[in-house]
Structure 1
Amino acid sequence: MLARTRPRILTVLHQETSSPGRVGHMLMERGFDLDIRRPPLGDPLPDTLDGHAGAVVFGGPMSANDPDEFVRRETDWMRVPLKEDKPFLGICLGAQMLAKHLGGKVEGHGRGLVEIGWYPIEATGCGRQLLHWPDMVYQFHREGFTLPSDATLLATADTYPNQAFRYGEKAYGIQFHGELTQAMMHRWVVHGAQRFSLPGAQPGRDHLGGRLIWDMHLRRWLGEFLETIFGHAPVR
């Protein structure tokens, strides 16, 4: 009897210790396997997604404007899911790379403000038609992006107005992080503590305290959002 194969989601991470967190857990619960690649460590990206059910590109400490070869290669690679009309999700850096590939700009706030901690967002009319959005989300970034031409804004905020967008029918980008497990957030708070003094950043205690209040809503939203983009793997 042949073993059943599960469709794969290309999962792009940017550090040796990075994890797909809850996004990975939820995709596997939906019947997918993860094909994890780390371009900064030399992993190639496929020329086609014929062998994948979609792709997720996660965040990282680098900028989409950095001159590193892997940054340029990964940003150019965005043409693959777009051309093949495959489900795609970019998170933070992944969203910024997608926006830049589509002609948008990735840049910091004009007054040097950052979003590091929990901040409110508001869904647009198009976003509300898609699903119910959380009031507060977890952020960890110093740059944002302009909305590419022909993209649909799904969620907005005060400091960085473009928080989530859709391009075409299957490509999505979000500026914030819903993937963090509790262990991941503790690591980010420890290793990212030097950034808490930046203008607009929140102290570490507020990251962890806010999780107790708002994370259950963010987690529920993430499950519904992944369902919207990827659905469930077909039974084979």
Structure 2
Amino acid sequence: MRPRRSAIAIRHVAFEDLGLLAPIMERAGWSVSFCDAPVDDLSDRAIREADLLIVLGGPIGVYETDKYPFLTAEIALLEQRLRRDLPTLGICLGAQLIAQALGGRVFPGEVKEIGWGPIELTPDGKSSCLRNLQNEVLHWHGDTFDLPVGAVRLASNANYQNQAFAWGRNALALQFHLEADPRQLEEWYVGHAVELAAAKVSISELRGRTQALARTVAVQAEQVFGDWLQSIAPTDSALRSSAGA
């Protein structure tokens, strides 16, 4: 019997969680624990050594370390994992944190993207785990980043050149929210009410588009995350567990 591998998901706000990714990981044999970045000890060995680290989204900027000091520890954690080629997934803020940890610049963008929209895969993206990504994805960000040296761009769109990138075999950064569960976005509409109002986004229109895409986005998440989870190399701890099983 194959041992279950350990994953740690770092949250910045409670309602931006694994969403559609949670059942995908359960079926793939992962045991997932959550860490809340603002209050938990990010230097804990269990986080550093997890077979997979997932860094989720949040409504703050990577560059706001003076306001949110925990970001410094989070970046240091990512630097350590990426240097050791440990499997790491970053989504939205998580992708920006990975870019920062790899030496890229993170900064406010010229356009705030909130809502469903297309992305275009690069040639590398078309041969990656994103190859089946054909429908619209959920954008919810105002910041962007420069592509880190050595990273491989996987996706772009008309507003931002860097929408997804890979680093080596085991790290994936997604600026968009492929994990967002349409049923749980009602919590986002409340939690991000001030941001939505400031951006003049119609919640009713966003809700309607979400409902129209609900079935297809679940299929996309299954294909993309399923393929990526199969592609990442096992960590040393996973190999040791297998050897002892």
> So what's the TM-score if we normalise by structure 1?
0.87
Letter in 2 for 1:27: M
Query: Does the 8 Å CA contact 2:53/2:89 hold for their aligned counterparts?
Result: yes
CA contact (8 A) 2:182 2:214 kept: no
Runs of 4+ in 1 over 6 A off after TM superposition: 232-235
Residue number in structure 2 paired with 1:225: 224
Counterpart Cα distance in 2 of 1:43 and 1:183:
31
Deviation of 1:139 after TM superposition, in Å, equals 1.4
**1:194 and 2:194 correspond:** yes
1:215 matched residue in structure 2 = 214
Paired residues of 1:151 and 1:166 also in contact (CA < 8 A):
yes
The residue that corresponds to 2:85 in the other structure is 85
SS in 1 for 2:12: coil
Mapped to 2, the partners of 1:168 and 1:204 lie a distance apart of: 38
**Which one of 26, 42, 51 corresponds to residue 44 of structure 1?**
42
Q: Residues of 2 paired with 1:40 and 1:49: CA distance? A: 14
Shift of 1:140: 1.3
- Quick one: structure 1 residues 173 and 128, their matched pair in 2 at CA, closer, same or farther if it must change by over 3 Å? same
CA distance in 1, matches of 2:44, 2:227: 24
Q: Paired residue for 1:20?
A: 18
Provide the rounded CA distance (Å) in 2 between the counterparts of 1:134 and 1:46.
Answer: 39
CA distance in 1, matches of 2:134, 2:106: 25
* Gap runs ≥5 in structure 2: none
Contact 1:64 1:106 in 2 (8 A): yes
Please tell me whether the aligned partners of residues 134 and 218 of structure 1 are also in contact (alpha carbons under 8 angstroms).
no
Letter in 1 for 2:59: P
Determine what percentage of the aligned residue pairs are the same residue: 26
Q: Quick one: distance in 2 between partners of 1:58 and 1:203?
A: 24
CA distance in 2, matches of 1:207, 1:43: 36
CA distance 1:125–1:81, shift in 2 (3 Å): same
RMSD: 2.5
Report the alpha carbon displacement of residue 80 of structure 1 after superposing the two structures with TM.
Answer: 2.7
Tell me how far 1:58 sits from its aligned partner. 0.2
> Hey, what does 1:118 align to over in structure 2?
116
Q: Is the 8 A contact 1:9 1:34 kept in 2?
A: yes
Partner residue, 2:56:
58
Q: Which residue of 2 aligns with 1:101?
A: 101
Once residues 228 and 52 of structure 2 are traced to their aligned partners in structure 1, the CA distance between those partners, rounded to angstroms, is 9
C-alpha distance in 2, partners of 1:16/1:43? 17
TM-score w.r.t. length of structure 2: 0.84
Q: Deviations over 1:193-218 (max 9, x none)?
A: 3323445x631122211123333333
CA separation in 1, counterparts of 2:157 and 2:26? 31
